[in-house]
Amino acid sequence: MTSIDDTLSEIRWLRNEIWRCRRSLKTVLPAAERQAVEKRLHEQLSAFERLLSSAFPLTLSSKVYSGKSTTIGQTGSSEALMVNVAIPSSGLFGKPNSG
């Protein structure tokens, strides 16, 4: 089993290789060399994504934070969509929610 330091080191190495490939692609290259660099870049990006997903398996999606949706104004108005997430029902700072 590899340590987190080894994994982070490999992530940094792949990131640096990706940057090198991208810098290289910004220069004038013969067609064959350009194809080789593009292929290498694609391989490194795939390896980078695999390594990140194995090192950090938790992902956050919009479904986690969807909360309750309420529209303001006309019903069905896509412009006035408000998402009520983490708003306590008793009001702000524990004060009763009275008029």
pLDDT over 70 for what percent of the chain?
58
- How far apart CA 94 and CA 7 sit, in angstroms, is 45
- Start-to-end CA distance of the chain, whole Å, equals 60
**SS3 state of residue 97:** coil
Dump pLDDT digits (tens) for 54-98.
Answer: 888 876 665 544 455 444 444 554 444 444 444 444 444 455 555
Helix intervals (H) in the chain: 4-25, 31-55
Give me the pLDDT at residue 83, please.
45
Give me the pLDDT at residue 38, please.
97
Give me the pLDDT at residue 98, please.
54
Question: Considering the chain, what is the average pLDDT of its residues?
Answer: 75
